Amino acid sequence: MSDQELTEDLPAVIAEMEAKVAEFPKSLMAHHHLALVYRKAGRQNDALKELHTCIEIDEASAESYINLGALYFEMGELEKSLEANKKALIHSANPAQAHCNIGLIHQQQGDNDKAIDAYTKATLNDPRLAFAWINLAAAKIGAGKYAEALDAARKGIENDPDYPMAHNNLAVALYYNDKFQESDKAMKKAESLGYPVEPMFKQVLAEKL
Q: pLDDT tens per residue, the chain (209 residues)? A: 444 445 568 899 999 999 999 999 999 999 999 999 999 999 999 999 999 999 999 999 999 999 999 999 999 999 999 999 999 999 998 899 999 999 999 999 999 999 999 999 999 999 999 999 999 999 999 999 999 999 999 999 999 999 999 999 999 999 999 999 999 999 999 999 999 999 999 999 999 99
What are the CA-CA distances from residue 28 to residues 50, 62, 78, 89 (Å)? 9, 12, 25, 19
CB environment 35-70: b (16+ within 10 A), e (fewer): bbbbbebebeebbbebbebbbebeeebbbbbbbbbb
Kindly tell me the number of DSSP H helices and DSSP E strands found in the chain. 13, 0
Q: What is the reported pTM? A: 0.88
The pLDDT assigned to 164 comes to 97
The pLDDT assigned to 8 comes to 60
The answer to whether the beta carbons of residues 163 and 171 sit under 8 Å apart is: no
